[in-house]
Amino acid sequence: MKNIIAIASFAAILLVSCTSKAPVATAAPAVSASTPEQIAQGKTIFENSCGRCHKLPDPTSHNSVQWVGIMNSMAPKAKLTDEQHQWVYDYIVSVKK
Ligand code: HEC
């Protein structure tokens, strides 16, 4: 009987730790891990917003560090939200790889 309780509580702990882990992982602030959907959105935003004032830039023309600075000056020009800024940046650097 003791064993069954021990196993049951062990299983309960496993269950709790598994179920409580998943939401924490997805709710963690995304440092630079956009989903493929967000990167696809970034591509659309890039193509629609970044060719208005000049030729659409080539994502491979600058490295990922240079793009941080470029996006910091261009995102306000293109009136991007913080999220769109992130998605466009993640799209641009995804092209490089
Ligand atoms: C409102 C007009 C406008 C929009 C929208 C705009 N840009 Fe620009 N962009 C400029 C101007 C003006 C320059 C040149 C002067 C400068 O560097 O500020 C420039 C320069 C650049 C350069 C060259 C910078 C360098 O150091 O060689 C890149 C790359 C660039 N833009 C990328 C983008 C991207 C990516 C977007 C979309 C998020 C974007 N731009 C949207 C006006 C714009």
Ligand 1 pocket test, pick from 53, 61, 93 with the greatest ligand atom count within 8 Å of Cβ, gives: 53
d(CA 4, CA 72): 59
Q: Using one digit for the tens of pLDDT, what is the confidence trace for 71-91?
A: 999 999 999 999 999 999 999
Burial of residue 87 (CB within 10 Å: 0-12, 13-18, 19+) is buried
DSSP 8-class letter at 58 = P
pLDDT of residue 41: 97
Instruction: Say how far apart CA 33 and CA 14 lie, in whole Å.
Output: 28
Same-domain check for residues 45 and 79: yes
pLDDT 10s digits, 16-53: 444 444 444 444 444 567 999 999 999 999 999 999 99
The CB of 78 under 6 Å from ligand 1? The reply is yes
Tally of structural domains, the chain = 2
**Structural domain of 54:** 36-96
Co-location of 2 and 16 in the same domain: yes
Q: List helix spans (H) across 28-96.
A: 36-49, 64-77, 82-96
54 lines ligand 1 (CB under 6 A): yes
| 54 and 79 fall within a common domain | yes
Cβ of 45 less than 6 Å from ligand 1: no
Tell whether ligand 1 has an atom less than 6 A from the beta carbon of residue 56.
no
Clarify whether residues 57 and 88 are in a common domain: yes
